[in-house]
Amino acid sequence: MTTSSIAGVARRRAILDAALTVYLKNGVAGTTVEVLHRASGASVGSIYHFFGSKEGVAAELYIEILRDYFDTYLAALQGNSSARGGIEGSVRTHLEWVAANELRARYLFHCREYEIIEESRPAITAMNEHFYGEASAWLQPHVEKGRIKPLPPRLCQALWMGPCVEYARLWLARSAEFDMLGAAPLLGQAAWNAVQV
């Protein structure tokens, strides 16, 4: 990698890192390219060069975070050969990822501005299809062997992930501190109870 390309990667990263903080504070609509320039230290030209617009920055940030979350989740799921281990492990992984990536999780789960969704819709759709395809491929053998209820895959995943996703949302929006990770065993057990035969 050349010196200029390394500098370009660093500038791009600085823009995305600054955008996370700025967008969480002001929203996409309430942020200007000038604000991104001041927060990141990157030139206005660099912002347009790398992302095309402030909406482009927001969309790329969203896609990057979603990809990291999906990759982490699928690694935990696919790293377990047992049905129960995969279900409980994915619940624990979700909670751990949120706790370790609080600002990124806030952006991913709470930021639903039209600008982000529209700009990144094709990429989000493709990533969702890949994610659910991989999760369903892990799920199917366990269904066939009578370990997990024969439900439509997305319904099955909603049953096991719904409570932990909601609990993590409450933690992100908390007005008082509570131990989200301490709930992982109970939420994992509830997830397994919801889908086991």
pLDDT digit string (tens) for 84-136? 999 999 999 999 999 999 999 999 987 767 767 777 889 999 999 999 999 99
> For residue 128, how many C-alpha atoms fall within 13 Å in the half-sphere facing its CB?
8
Reported for 22-25, long-range contacts at CB under 8 A and 24+ positions apart, including other chains, are 23/58, 23/61, 23/107, 23/111, 24/103, 24/106, 24/107, 24/111
What does residue 79 show for φ and ψ, rounded to 5 degrees?
A: -80, -5
- Kindly list the domain boundaries of the chain, sorted by start residue: 1-52, 59-195
Query: Residue 25: is its pLDDT beyond 80?
Result: yes
Q: Which fold has domain 1-52?
A: Arc Repressor Mutant, subunit A (1.10.10)
* Residues 150-161: tens digit of each pLDDT: 999 889 999 999
Topology of domain 59-195 in CATH is: Tetracycline Repressor; domain 2 (1.10.357)
Contacts with 23 (C-beta within 8 Å, 6 or more apart), sequence order: 31, 58, 61, 107, 111
